[in-house]
Structure 1
């Protein structure tokens, strides 16, 4: 099975490349700039066709949430039009597309985990551009899985876990937002889930359960609680640690608003594909251990 993944440096793309090296029957081909530039639609089809994939994983995106407020045209060019071009390229090749989306398509006002059937209502440019991307993907290729995930962390790229460990290296106390809730999600787990789902699609030509799925970590917490998880694990492994002080989101103003509730129910994905993420403590320990070992 040959997977073409858009992007090279993102957390999911890097995790997939690593996971693919451990699978004898899987080949992962990462495609990025300049060969594939989602802001330049003319590059997309040729770059993906050259990879000759069995399945396309649409992982590349514009992810600068605050900067998107100042660059809406670029955010929509990449996350909406670019995502649609990727899905269309897969359709022309007669293969499915697995597209990564986000909890930011919701406004965060629901009391409880979001289901795939809940109404979307993004509150910022980034979320609006990703929702437009979902719609473009679904329109371009009927054989699509749209996977909404949230609060990604991993040994790769920039992420919350890395930031907490860095700050703990030179601070005794770290203020962290306590009134935003979600499911911290290891990109290593997302890569495992994608490979699991891709294998199902590859061997089952009659697969028909296309559509939107939520795919997030097992276990919910707020940002300050997640910080404590990370730093407790780090301290236990001999790494940096610090006190975490709860603050409100209003005490840490950002240009773009964040959903107060980013919790996602992954029950549908578990039911269809028979895969669930490990518990938070296990996934976080693996990532923290790898970050400290560097």
Structure 2
């Protein structure tokens, strides 16, 4: 992947997306009548929504609304009780997390899960799947192939580090990074996988305002320049309203509302339950 190359295939895709009405294309990711219970608690209750290709979609709601559970269902960490999850029209509800990852659906976590005792660069080098060097016989019988593959991954990792402005800390242990830098590292790990769609779980949590601005700029640039689709859970409403379109609101395991930021911001039920008084005056 050439991070700095402006004429890549992904750029062409992003350009075509901007010229086509998003609503006229099949959704990239679709949840249909999804349910999940834990004992007597129904965390996701016949939830349905779509994520259109090329969008930065926000998923909001109070704690306990079922947002993270939906993420865990979509990425195969837990199985659904019923309903369907479609990626590019193909049902992925029965697949393992690694199989879903291989199809281009990646996620981050509210608390980053970096390999703390490895360097930032090494964290990136681990990501590409199916590496020849994972098998001892390739290292023994095909050392040239292994070296060439590692060189390609190293070049790609360096480009990702430069793109995210993490080059100065590339040899630092990941555990020593700040919260914001760890969020950027997670984004870098996703870029190493060339994703179609990225699920971001509270990217603003624990991040100072300067690094948060960098994260927002990177999300916007990756959507615009690379054609990557984003679905993000976030409690920072200023970030959601300025970054996401559309915004989906969940309540008690179901979709409550969906629309453009201004539409959601003006919905009385959403204002009362989720956004608070700071938006009520603007809506009025």
TM-score, reference length from structure 1: 0.28
More strand by share: 2
Greater Cα radius of gyration, structure 1 or 2: 2
Higher RCO structure, 1 or 2 (CA under 8 Å, sep 6+):
2
